[in-house]
Amino acid sequence: MATPREFSLAFEAAPPAAARPGLPFTVPVIVVVRPVGTPSRTVQLVASASLRDEAGTSPAIGLSGNLTAMVRSRCEPSMSGYAKFSGLTISRPGKYRIRVMLSTSSVNGVMTKECVDSAIIHVHAAAPAAQRPTPTTVAKLQRLTAENLDISARDIVAWQSA
Question: How would DSSP label each residue in 123-154?
Answer: E-TTS-SS-PPPHHHHHHHHHHTTSSS---HH
Among the listed residues 35, 28, 32, the one whose alpha carbon sits nearest the alpha carbon of residue 12: 32
pLDDT per residue, tens digit, the chain (162 aa), is: 445 568 899 999 999 999 999 999 999 999 999 888 766 665 688 999 999 999 999 999 999 999 999 888 877 656 788 999 999 999 999 999 999 999 887 777 777 788 999 999 999 999 999 998 999 999 999 999 988 888 999 999 999 988
Domain coordinates of the chain in residue numbers?
7-160
Outline where the chain has alpha helix (H): 135-144, 153-160
pLDDT reported for residue 2: 46
Q: Residue 2, class by beta-carbon neighbours within 10 Å (0-12 exposed, 13-18 middle, 19+ buried)?
A: exposed
For residue 13, the one-letter residue type is A
Q: Residue 156: helix, strand or coil by DSSP? A: helix
pLDDT reported for residue 1: 40
- CB neighbourhood size of 42 (10 A): 21
CATH fold, domain 7-160, is Immunoglobulin-like (2.60.40)
pLDDT reported for residue 75: 72
Q: Tell me how far apart the alpha carbons of residues 116 and 7 are, in angstroms, rounded to a whole number.
A: 11
